[in-house]
Structure 1
């Protein structure tokens, strides 16, 4: 009986030792695979008309990801086109001066005023002689003289207006017309830019991870409709306690190992920064003192790894 107990004890001990030896040792050299993230949103609000991709899909830079329905764009475009037409008309009118009909009207007024002036001059000459012979009073003579001066002033004013028309429009009116045209063209360009926002375009080669809204829902400005990762933007993140951080430095070359594919490649530490106390730790166990500061190593491959496959947050080791 005692022999049986000893045999069972030895078997249990061997099994325990075997299990312990099979566990992979946890070290500070364990990190995670990361990718540069991208969030895609719109500058203006619109209702989602069509989504052309699915989650997990790989897209290229410039691909159309979705269409937005923005009915206000069409109404504003009509207003902008109307403003441009009106501004061009004002500029043409200012540049060309008076029309032929306007010139005819001015010349007709000048002819009528000259006829009145001629009549006033003749009346003045007759009454002047009569006043000398004391046949009329001074009051009557002054009235005729005043009518003559008024006729002369009217003819002079109409000639000045005709001269201004013949010299085209005043410079300030022409500048004003040009300014209104530029303002109208600027408003139209703004509408054209806003119209481009109807198309949600991929800003880079990327993998679409999440789609936050569905067709028919309203997309507000700045809200991320698509979230994903840039392809070929892989880097590696390690968290190191302060007791070990002096073993590393920016620019140091290291060798990384994919523990699952057994592939090795050269890499370089590009940055070291302190993490906040509540930051995520990439180690699989808290192998640091709670009073220690924690630092992040950002590591980028300095050799071609395009043929290797990596998954977000999978484990990577420093050899």
Structure 2
């Protein structure tokens, strides 16, 4: 029984080795590659709706998902209230008192004016009586002090009326303008955050994976969608040291796509050595042991031909034919 298994294993190895060696000489296998892109949100929110599915092709600017942002809505309302308050404070500082405030100040002025005139008249009378020694000096001094107090109050309300008519000081107006600008900046910031509820495709791309579902929490910077940039298709080949001399930058080759049996003309854009761990150090039917490997990138001459190719599918390159 063991002998039969050994014979079968040896036969399978011979067939596999023969099949590998039946590949045309000079043909290198590679892969169809595309640049990847991740799309993430800038603010935290729960997924409210997803508008795409895996495998969809989207254009730049398309809406991929909608986030629910209650905190941002609250900040928006606060910012709008702050702007209204700052606008009112600035207008009050610029325009001065209202008509009703001026009316109150004028009434106060008239009252204090009458008090001052009465106090002044009383002091004049008491001065004459003091000369005739009809009153004591103390009584005159008290009346004079009351007159001076009435004059100080009258001067104060006169200054208030002038300030109300002229408006606030320039410094106060500048301060009010600064508060207004600050409130406007907060509103602009809240508006920018509100726009982030829409997750937008930054470029034309194909959706490969969607990491979250409706109702899940999307954190800032977490990749919600990953995909490929269809216009960045290129072909990647690992060429052994023994064949790398046939490859030159700017050379054009015909790349064959086995799964759909198409040929695409491409141009070599880069040739770079792979890291040492990629060198062949075990037996392999195509490469010699210990050979260094080089990465060859070939980009299509007409990128539109590759937009529908499947990423990571096999591509072959025959180095003997240009």
Name the TM-score, length of structure 1 as normaliser.
0.81
Q: Look up the SS of the partner of 2:32 in the other structure.
A: strand
Q: Look up the SS of the partner of 2:310 in the other structure.
A: coil
Match in the other structure for 1:257 = 255
Q: Aligned-pair distance for 1:101?
A: 1.2
Looking at structure 2, the residues matched to 296 and 18 of structure 1 have their Cα atoms a distance apart, in angstroms, of: 25
Q: Deviations over 1:117-158 (max 9, x none)?
A: 111111111121222223333322222222222222221121
Match in the other structure for 2:133 = 134
Match in the other structure for 1:6 = none
What are the within-5 Å matches in structure 2 for residues 216-295 of structure 1? Answer: 216-240=215-239, 251-260=249-258, 261=261, 263-269=263-269, 271-273=270-272, 275-277=274-276, 287=287, 292=292, 295=294
User: Does structure 1 retain, via aligned residues, the 8 Å contact 2:96–2:163?
Assistant: no
Name the Cα RMSD after superposition: 3.2
Looking at structure 2, the residues matched to 191 and 36 of structure 1 have their Cα atoms a distance apart, in angstroms, of: 34
Looking at structure 1, the residues matched to 15 and 236 of structure 2 have their Cα atoms a distance apart, in angstroms, of: 34
Match in the other structure for 2:101 = 102
User: Does structure 2 retain, via aligned residues, the 8 Å contact 1:66–1:199?
Assistant: yes
Q: 1:277 to 1:135 in 2, by over 3 A?
A: farther
Name the TM-score, length of structure 2 as normaliser.
0.81
Q: Deviations over 1:179-215 (max 9, x none)?
A: 2222222222222222222222211211111111222
Q: Out of 305-314 and 178-187, give the one that drifted further.
A: 305-314
Q: Look up the SS of the partner of 1:287 in the other structure.
A: coil
Q: 1:140 to 1:212 in 2, by over 3 A?
A: same
User: Does structure 2 retain, via aligned residues, the 8 Å contact 1:28–1:287?
Assistant: no
Aligned residues: 300
User: Does structure 1 retain, via aligned residues, the 8 Å contact 2:67–2:198?
Assistant: yes
Q: Look up the SS of the partner of 1:135 in the other structure.
A: coil
Q: Aligned-pair distance for 1:275?
A: 4.4
Match in the other structure for 1:114 = 113
Q: 1:299 to 1:259 in 2, by over 3 A?
A: closer
Q: 1:264 to 1:83 in 2, by over 3 A?
A: closer
Q: Deviations over 1:60-103 (max 9, x none)?
A: 22222222222223222222222122122212222221011111
What are the within-5 Å matches in structure 2 for residues 53-132 of structure 1? Answer: 53-132=52-131
Looking at structure 1, the residues matched to 16 and 289 of structure 2 have their Cα atoms a distance apart, in angstroms, of: 28
Match in the other structure for 2:161 = 162
User: Does structure 2 retain, via aligned residues, the 8 Å contact 1:38–1:228?
Assistant: yes
Q: 1:253 to 1:106 in 2, by over 3 A?
A: same
Match in the other structure for 2:32 = 33
Looking at structure 2, the residues matched to 245 and 18 of structure 1 have their Cα atoms a distance apart, in angstroms, of: 24
User: Does structure 1 retain, via aligned residues, the 8 Å contact 2:34–2:229?
Assistant: yes
Q: Aligned-pair distance for 1:162?
A: 1.0
Looking at structure 2, the residues matched to 121 and 296 of structure 1 have their Cα atoms a distance apart, in angstroms, of: 106
Match in the other structure for 2:317 = 317
Q: 1:236 to 1:17 in 2, by over 3 A?
A: closer
Looking at structure 1, the residues matched to 156 and 256 of structure 2 have their Cα atoms a distance apart, in angstroms, of: 95
User: Does structure 2 retain, via aligned residues, the 8 Å contact 1:207–1:231?
Assistant: yes
Match in the other structure for 1:188 = 187
Looking at structure 2, the residues matched to 102 and 259 of structure 1 have their Cα atoms a distance apart, in angstroms, of: 86
Q: 1:139 to 1:288 in 2, by over 3 A?
A: farther
Unaligned 5+ segments in structure 2 are 1-10
